[in-house]
Homo-oligomer: A and B are copies of this chain.
Amino acid sequence: MNTPELGLPMVVPAAGLPARVRIHEVGARDGLQNEKATVPTAVKAEFVRRLAGTGLTTVEATSFVHPKWVPQLADAEELYPAVAGLPVELPVLVPNERGLDRALALGARRVAVFASATESFAKANLNRTVDEALAMFEPVVSRAKAADVHVRGYLSMCFGDPWEGAVPVAQVVKVCRALLDMGCDELSLGDTVGVATPGHVTALLTALTGAGVPVSALGVHFHDTYGQALSNTLAALQQGVTTVDASAGGLGGCPYAKSATGNLATEDLVWMLRGLGIDTGVDLGRLVATSVWMAAHLGRPSPSRTVRALSHQES
């Protein structure tokens, strides 16, 4: 059928959902660190600037992991000062005290640590047990809090783990409590391999709030590996979650490659939230244009359905 298309969804709110959602944009960090190509620093800075210009309020900028582990983001010392004046929150990843030192030296006001809900992934990603990793984060968090810096705790493998299979909800709750008790201001519950479904999301969030964790301290981080990210997000919104991680254009994890990790595309999320009448502050057209611009730099189309539909429309 060859027809013109609507540019925006109709707004029809649903009962029981939040009025506003904060999108935690991870494209410039989680997206680019998973791209094979290393993007020039000037392009990264322009990407962050353009993202900030869409109305997003939180744009994760880079990572102070050792360059040996994430060579794609080895230019953090050059990038961060180039974007630090933007009128948005610019969290950065810090794996340890050395990373925190580097971030604080540049004036970072928001940092994030990266924990695992499972022993297997803690071993694979951090070469530590879960408890050893938490012990490593403790001085990072306490020093950040002493400097009045906001701390996010990423938690990987909250639903399934490639080595361990299904991850018990109680295990996730335990690590969440430990991160909050050491001073993390918010957590991001990651479905690192994309295997969550909505009932699992509801069960985990119910267990966390039942254990006394305020839902305002919880963000969700879904991957679209099996196409489930947006329905999982809907389930999370229905539990009161108001912080959702997403990656502009679905950056991070090529959808054509083995073990695609496919972050939820920010555009697909914004489309749903706008249709639901949930305020995000994001200008969808600008965001799509930014993702089309970055896709040209990377030399491959965005996997986001919304980017494809709206950008083909424009062409």
Contacts and interface: CB of A to CB of B under 8 A. Distances in A.
Interface in A186-202: 192-200, 202
Given A14-B202, A193-B3, A233-B231, A160 B9 contact: yes
Nearest to A276: B199
Interface string A198-228: 1110110000000000000000000011111
Interface residues of A, number: 68
A200 B10 contact: yes
Interface in A221-259: 224-228, 230-231, 233-235, 255-259
A312 B200 CA distance: 25
A197 B277 CA distance: 10
For this chain, the copies found in one complex come to: 2
Interface stretch (A59-67, A103-111, A264-272): A264-272
Interface stretch (A42-50, A89-97, A139-147, A300-308): A300-308
A230 B125 CA distance: 32
Interface stretch (A74-82, A162-170, A175-183): A162-170
A94 to B, nearest CB: 19
A197 B163 contact: no
Nearest to A268: B227
Interface string A124-136: 1100000000000
A277 B233 CA distance: 19
A304 B125 CA distance: 29
B235 A14 contact: yes
A3 B287 CA distance: 31
Given A235-B234, A309-B225, A197 B259 contact: no
A227 B265 contact: yes
A5 interface: yes
A230 B235 CA distance: 12
Given A10-B195, A227-B304, A5 B309 contact: no
Nearest to A257: B312
A162 B4 contact: yes
A154 interface: no
A271 B227 contact: yes
Given A9-B195, A256-B301, A260-B312, 7 more contacts: A5-B259, A14-B203, A199-B275, A226-B271, A226-B309, A227-B304, A228-B272
Interface of A: 1-6, 9-10, 12-15, 17, 34, 124-125, 159-160, 162-163, 165-166, 192-200, 202-203, 224-228, 230-231, 233-235, 255-262, 265, 268, 271-272, 274-277, 301, 304-306, 308-309, 312-313, 315
17 contacts: A2-B259, A3-B124, A6-B195, A9-B200, A10-B197, A12-B197, A12-B199, A14-B202, A199-B276, A225-B309, A228-B271, A234-B234, A255-B308, A256-B308, A258-B315, A259-B312, A260-B309
